[in-house]
Amino acid sequence: MTTTITLTDGTTEDAPVPVEKHDDTTPLLEIKDLQISFTTATGTVEAVRGVDLTVYPGQSVAIVGESGSGKSTTAHAIIDLLPGTGKVTGGSISFGGRELVGLGRKQFEDLRGREIGLVPQDPMSNLNPVWRIGAQIDEALVANGFQGGKAERTARVAELLSEAGLPDADRRARQFPHEFSGGMRQRALIAIGLASRPKLLIADEPTSALDVTVQKKILDHLEGLTAELGTAVLFITHDLGLAAERAEHLIVMYKGRVVESGPAAQILKDPQHEYTKRLVSSAPSLASRRIQSAHERGQEADDLLAEHADEAETTAPDVVVAKDLTKVFHIRGSRPGSHTDFTAVDGINFTLPKGHTLALVGESGSGKSTAANMVLGLLDPTSGTVMYDGKDVTKMSAKEQFSLRRRVQPVFQNPYGSLDPTYSIYRSIEEPLVLHKVGDRRSREARVRELLDMVSLPQATMRRFPNELSGGQRQRIAIARALALKPEVLVLDEAVSALDVLVQAQILTLLNDLQAELGLSFLFITHDLAVVRQIADLVAVMKDGRIVEHATTDEVFDNPQQEYTRDLLAAIPGASLEIGG
Amino acid sequence: MLWYIGRRLLQVIPVFLGATLLLYGLVFLRPGDPVAALGGERGLSPAAELAIREAYHLDQPFLMQYLYFLKGVFTFDMGVTFTGRPVVEVIAQAFPVTFQLALMAIVIETVFGIGFGLWAGVRKGKLFDSTVLLWSLVLISVPTFVIGFVMQAVVGVQLGWLPITAGRDPDFISLLMPAIVLATTSFAYILRLTRTSVVENITADFVRTARAKGLPRDKVMSRHVLRNSLIPVVTFIGIDLGNLMAGSIVTEGIFNINGVGGTLYQAIIRGENVTVVSLATVLVIVYIFANLLVDVFYAVLDPRIRYA
């Protein structure tokens, strides 16, 4: 297995490109014509329609696809953990020569953990909060017939944890999940998955909830570990860059079918299927240019670039200026009266020029969302100021702050959580207009229709409810709602992070068009540098509450000044890959 | 944690003072003159009336009466009732039987509520689940006294399985039917709470992870589904302990039990302010400790909760 694949003009001498080398061995896992369907109130939904898949011993295979493509469903069917009404309705899954479809509960219980391990997706919800980490690994040992008493098991648990890359494993085993960071929890889950030395490890989006630098470390570690143990790995991921970097063989799924399958390098270089082509071209980790919306309107891209660069430095007035912005949180201690101060944002300065996009980039805990909340006026700064059009927000009266809300609007990360499920789409978009007493019933309806047009949704959408819409559609609604009051600034807090790549690309294009059309300024909060490249003019990199680098996007990407920025850039999955064609 | 318990115990003092003052104020404001009522149709002689008023400090202003009461509480001498029995003795006589009744009810509602709720949650949408849900709704909507009378008529009279009333110094068997009646409403709530909790937890990611580890089904159920589902249930049971102590007035009336409920009711009717306030005060303290117990137990069940 290789850590990085370098493919430049087909020269591969010093980059060991994985080859399909398993012709003589028998497959470990062989899925043939697998059909899975779910029964819903409205009928049967076929989630997986005729999937073929082969994993050889020790091989790493990745299934790539967007949410709803059936990739996780396929993986869960292997160990009979389909959620809800899911059922295998046809085809075969054979593991080590043994047919799995139709096995009984007991037989699956024996298989799970011992033969096939699982590293699940979300480290925050996959550990039981009420049991110690050690106990949760220990029970896996007991269930899978570990020979040895309590003391041996305790020693083994510590061994497994340190093997997964957790230092100080003895103490860590006695802690609870809430005392672990996301990365540490994921390591504990890897320890659980590998506890009984399975022949196959299913890694279901194992790091998509983690920061890129943590993700890289954990994947490197997992890769080394499984190579050492000779474990075959089935990756499930939405990230093409990550899949290509980590797996020898790629399987691209779309709407329940395998649309393309082959060696990773070959698929990236020469995608055959239409969907794969789109996926390759819009994978954010592989894209390298800012989206040029105005280009379509007949402007020369070069002119625009020059114009942008000029404006960023000279002409455009600054619409938001943050000066020495600081936020200190008091955290109550265990003793009465005792407390510690936590500085979330530590004297940061940034400016957002009118009509431009400033990206605040950083890992979780870097203070970027706290900074955004202060700009939105949702949090009061401990010291420092936020100037809006030359006026200090913190010194405004309640009335002025209320009218400021009209001009600065947020779009949040989770399109499922930020829309009230009991409000119709019409009501959701109309609400800010009602609150600010804009227009009468009729003009508000006209405005809602106009807004839906703006975000490219049919006007009939307004009679529907959030649960009837997809994630991308909901995020469009959230953007429409934010635009309702004709704001000048949008604060986009991880606004595209929860979306699939193709949808993400669409939303980014939409945002860019709206910016050009309406002269909006964006404060774009994200952990994803790949997205930054596509949308931002200026970048401020945050670490531990401070801005460590503040420059134009091109400068940051082409010539990063700080070690930390370079680490972030290097950790983007697929950063070392180049795509042909 | 010790800090937390200490602080909570200190909180008992203001709660006790506030609650007794409030209670005392309420009974004081009550219309009617208990001393005059004592005399009935005939009336008391002015001398006897004056003597009684002086003996019970009824001639003093409100705040003085309250302070006399407090003094009584701290010296365990809360005075005597109008019939001459010391109030302390009344409390000592009424509480044990009510406490036994409440405890039996708690055990019944917990065991059956959690059991039925777990089974219904696991078999969500099946016949057992829908049946149990419907019946729990019926139990919640029907008043306790109806359930009491129906049980007396069916189990007591027609089938003759259990004694119809408890009477003086009841034993375990004669308290069984009252305890069941007392437990019904809470049983239905616990059942529904457990069911909801189980339904929610059974689809939790960590349960799937537990299954993926290769844990057998009963281990997954007991260690991951049930254990996590108990957290909200325990809160309910703790608060219910207080409710059962105080709320057994109706049940005690139906089954002729001389517990806190009956005694309190009689004292209110007779206007024995000191007895009313004393009994209610003990109930307040029971409430406070039941809640403290719940909070401590809560932290044991859910390690994420740390009191500071």
Query: What does each of the 308 residues of chain B score in pLDDT, given as a tens digit?
Result: 677 778 778 877 888 888 888 888 887 777 767 677 666 677 778 888 888 777 777 777 888 888 887 887 777 776 666 667 777 888 888 888 888 888 899 999 999 999 999 999 998 888 999 999 999 999 999 988 888 888 888 888 888 788 877 777 778 888 888 889 989 989 999 999 999 999 999 988 999 999 999 999 999 999 999 999 988 898 888 888 877 876 677 888 888 888 888 888 888 887 777 788 888 888 888 887 888 888 888 878 888 776 65
- The closest CB to that of B3, out of A110, A117, A336, belongs to A336
Q: How far is B296 from chain A (nearest CA, A)?
A: 15
Task: Please answer yes or no on whether B308 and A334 come within 8 Å at the CB atom.
Answer: yes
Task: Please answer yes or no on whether B303 and A129 come within 8 Å at the CB atom.
Answer: yes
- The closest CB to that of A109, out of B7, B203, B216, belongs to B216
Task: Please answer yes or no on whether A178 and B303 come within 8 Å at the CB atom.
Answer: yes
**The predicted structure's pLDDT at residue A336:** 62
- Position A303 pLDDT exceeds 50: no
Q: Phi then psi for A464, rounded to 5 degrees?
A: -95, 175
Q: Enumerate residues 6+ apart whose C-beta is below 8 A from A538.
A: A312, A352, A353, A356, A357, A358, A359, A550, A551, A552, A553
Angle in degrees, CA A212, A216, A220, rounded to 5:
170
Lowest mean pLDDT among A41-55, A376-390, B70-84, B101-115: B70-84
**The predicted structure's pLDDT at residue A295:** 42
A196 lies in a domain?
no
- The closest CB to that of B223, out of A109, A122, A139, belongs to A139
Longest Cα separation, chain A: 77
What confidence tier does A13 reach under pLDDT thresholds 50, 70, 90?
very low
Chain B interface includes A114 (CB < 8 A): yes
Q: Which residue in B7, B10, B201, B209 has the most chain A C-beta atoms within 10 A of its own C-beta, making it the best mutation to test that interface?
A: B209
Domains of chain B: 88-301 (1.10.3720.10)
What confidence tier does A299 reach under pLDDT thresholds 50, 70, 90?
very low
A37 lies in a domain?
no
Domain count, chain A: 1
- Whats the size of chain A, residue-wise? 581
Q: How far is A83 from chain B (nearest CA, A)?
A: 8
**The predicted structure's pLDDT at residue A6:** 42
Chain A interface includes B126 (CB < 8 A): no
Q: How far is B196 from chain A (nearest CA, A)?
A: 16
**The predicted structure's pLDDT at residue A19:** 47
Cβ pairs A/B, distance under 8 A: 95
Chain B interface includes A189 (CB < 8 A): yes
Cβ-Cβ contacts under 8 Å, A121 against chain B: 205
Task: Please answer yes or no on whether A178 and B304 come within 8 Å at the CB atom.
Answer: yes
Q: Which two tokens stand for residue A284?
A: 């954010």
What confidence tier does A400 reach under pLDDT thresholds 50, 70, 90?
confident
Question: CB–CB of A358/A364 below 8 Å?
Answer: no
- The closest CB to that of B213, out of A140, A334, A336, belongs to A140
Amino acid at residue number A9: D
Helix, strand, or coil here: A561?
Answer: coil
Q: Enumerate residues 6+ apart whose C-beta is below 8 A from A520.
A: A355, A487, A488, A489, A490, A514
**Of A148 and A233, more confident:** A233
Shortest CA distance from A82: residue in chain B: B208
- The closest CB to that of B212, out of A112, A125, A176, belongs to A112
Chain A interface includes B234 (CB < 8 A): no
Q: Phi then psi for A259, rounded to 5 degrees?
A: -95, -20
Q: How far is B16 from chain A (nearest CA, A)?
A: 23
Cβ-Cβ contacts under 8 Å, B204 against chain A: 125
Question: CB–CB of B65/B274 below 8 Å?
Answer: no
Task: Please answer yes or no on whether A143 and B213 come within 8 Å at the CB atom.
Answer: yes
Cβ-Cβ contacts under 8 Å, A109 against chain B: 214-217
Chain B interface includes A78 (CB < 8 A): no
What residues does B81 pair with on adjacent strands? Answer: none
Q: How far is B217 from chain A (nearest CA, A)?
A: 8
- What is the β-pairing status of strands A318-332 and A339-353? antiparallel
Chain A interface includes B299 (CB < 8 A): no
A49 lies in a domain?
no
A393 lies in a domain?
yes
Q: What is the pLDDT of residues A496-545, one digit of tens each?
A: 877 777 888 888 888 888 888 888 999 999 888 878 888 889 999 998 88
Chain B interface includes A120 (CB < 8 A): yes
Reported ipTM: the value is 0.75
CATH code of A380's domain: 3.40.50.300
A554 lies in a domain?
yes
A533 lies in a domain?
yes
Alpha helices in A290-440 (DSSP H): 301-313, 368-375, 398-407, 425-435
Question: CB–CB of A108/A79 below 8 Å?
Answer: yes
- The closest CB to that of A113, out of B213, B217, B223, belongs to B213
Per the structure, the complete domain to which residue A320 belongs is given by 294-331+339-420+489-571
**The predicted structure's pLDDT at residue A523:** 93
Prediction pTM value: 0.76
- The closest CB to that of B213, out of A121, A130, A192, belongs to A192
Mean pLDDT of A393-412: 83
Q: How far is B110 from chain A (nearest CA, A)?
A: 21
Q: What gap in Å lies between CA B233 and CA B238, rounded to an integer?
A: 9
Q: Phi then psi for A33, rounded to 5 degrees?
A: 45, 45
What count of other Cβ atoms lies within 10 Å of the Cβ of residue B164? 17
Average pLDDT value for chain A: 83
What confidence tier does A136 reach under pLDDT thresholds 50, 70, 90?
very high
- The closest CB to that of B206, out of A105, A127, A335, belongs to A127
Q: Hunting for tokens 């004592």 — which residue is that? A: B38
Task: Please answer yes or no on whether A139 and B211 come within 8 Å at the CB atom.
Answer: no
Chain B interface includes A399 (CB < 8 A): no
Chain A interface includes B2 (CB < 8 A): no
Question: CB–CB of A138/A178 below 8 Å?
Answer: no
Cβ-Cβ contacts under 8 Å, B305 against chain A: none
Task: Please answer yes or no on whether B209 and A109 come within 8 Å at the CB atom.
Answer: no
A526 lies in a domain?
yes
A109 lies in a domain?
no
Q: Is the dihedral of CA A172, A177, A181, A186 positive or negative?
A: positive
The closest of B292, B291, B293, B284 to B17, measured between CA atoms, is B284
Q: Which residue in B207, B213, B302 has the most chain A C-beta atoms within 10 A of its own C-beta, making it the best mutation to test that interface?
A: B213
Cβ-Cβ contacts under 8 Å, B298 against chain A: none
Q: Which of residues 315-334 of A touch B (CB under 8 A)?
A: 332-334
